[in-house]
């Protein structure tokens, strides 16, 4: 199961998101860490959503730093809802 950490900041001059992907071994130690920067354009937002979806399906830990609301990542938000990651009911 993936752990997703989501941090929001107020710097709109920053990239759309910086995401750190961490592969954890069976002893709960990091095996590999990659950090990717995604700019605020349709191609890179689509790439971010695809990368995060693939990481979730692979059980990779994800840390997202962005100035955007999660619901602004429409495909990712829909995916998270579809797998029951969180409830939209209040």
Cβ neighbours for 36, distance < 8 A, ≥ 6 positions apart: 18, 19, 21, 48, 51
Q: Which three-class secondary structure string do you get for the chain?
A: CCCEEEEECCCCCCCCEEEEEEEECCCCCEEEEEEEEECCCHHHHHHHHHHHHHHHHHCCEEEEEECCCHHHCHHHHHHHHHCCCCCCCC
Residue-wise pLDDT tens digits, 27-76: 999 999 999 999 999 999 999 999 999 999 999 999 999 999 999 999 99
pTM: 0.88
Residue-wise pLDDT tens digits, 5-28: 999 999 999 999 999 999 999 999
- Delimit the domains of the chain by residue range: 4-82
């Amino acid at each position: 199961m993936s752990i997703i950490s989501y941090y929001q900041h107020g710097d709109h001059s920053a990239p759309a998101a910086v995401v750190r992907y961490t592969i954890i071994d069976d002893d709960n130690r990091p095996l590999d860490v990659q950090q990717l920067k995604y700019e605020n354009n349709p191609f890179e937002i689509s790439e971010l959503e695809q990368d995060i979806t693939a990481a979730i399906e692979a059980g990779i830990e994800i840390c997202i730093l962005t100035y955007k609301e999660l619901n602004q990542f429409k495909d990712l938000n829909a995916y998270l809802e579809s797998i029951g990651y969180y409830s939209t009911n209040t």
